[in-house]
Amino acid sequence: QTCALPILDVHRLEEGRAFWLGGLKLPSSFGAVGHSDADVLIHAICDALLGALNLRDIGFHFSDTDPQYKGIDSKILLRNVMALIKEREFSVVNIDATVILEQPKVNPHIPAIQVILAEILEVTIDRVSIKATTHEKVDSFGAGEAVKAYAVCLLSK
């Protein structure tokens, strides 16, 4: 089983926030806004994994009004999602994701992000594809007002 469409997550960017992306804190004076640590890349990956097994979505499992998830490290959410996957005797084959962000540059951080995610997803680093692109200064993403990530995954029983 796998999903047919790339899964999308979006977060608004704001000055003075920590910028968590793929479990890594990016050097930045601004960051993403959310109930959790607002890690848009991990959220998209969680939704891809959940969607592949028809397990609803991240908001269903980890409500954004539940105080226990306020400011939570999204790596914990991803570990919880992996537990659901493994409970059903599935494992991750690979993931592919793209981050759309005007700045800071994501590319230099991709190897570190791959290491973090591969450990949680229980795959080798070569199975964790992370890509980054800008929005070419077009619309709110291009103006640096928001960050977006897409993810797809393949699971096997």
Contacts with Mg ion in 40-59 (CB under 5 A)? 43
Rounded to whole angstroms, the Cα distance separating 23 from 52 reads 22
**Do 32 and 66 meet the contact criterion of CB atoms below 8 Å apart?**
no
**Residue nearest to Mg ion according to CB distances in the complex:** 43
Rounded to whole angstroms, the Cα distance separating 60 from 81 reads 12
* 44/92 with CB nearer Mg ion: 44
75 contributes a contact to Mg ion by CB under 5 A: no
**Do 147 and 132 meet the contact criterion of CB atoms below 8 Å apart?**
no
* 56/88 with CB nearer Mg ion: 56
* 9/102 with CB nearer Mg ion: 9
Give the binding range for Mg ion (CB under 5 A) out of 36-44, 75-83, 112-120, 125-133.
Answer: 36-44
CA 156 to chain centre: 20
Q: CA geometry: angle at 97 spanning 120 and 139, to 5°? A: 135
In the complex, minimum distance from the CB of residue 59 to Mg ion, in angstroms, rounded to a whole number: 8
CA 6 to each of CA 19, 24, 36, 42, 152: distance values in angstroms, whole numbers, following the listed order: 23, 22, 22, 14, 5
* 72/115 with CB nearer Mg ion: 72
Site string for Mg ion, 3-22 (x = CB under 5 A): ------x-------------
**Do 94 and 127 meet the contact criterion of CB atoms below 8 Å apart?**
yes
Number of residues near Mg ion (by CB under 5 A): 2
Closest by Cα among 102, 116, 109, 107 to 32: 102
In the complex, minimum distance from the CB of residue 13 to Mg ion, in angstroms, rounded to a whole number: 13
* 65/157 with CB nearer Mg ion: 65
Task: Give me the residues that bind Mg ion (CB under 5 A), please.
Answer: 9, 43
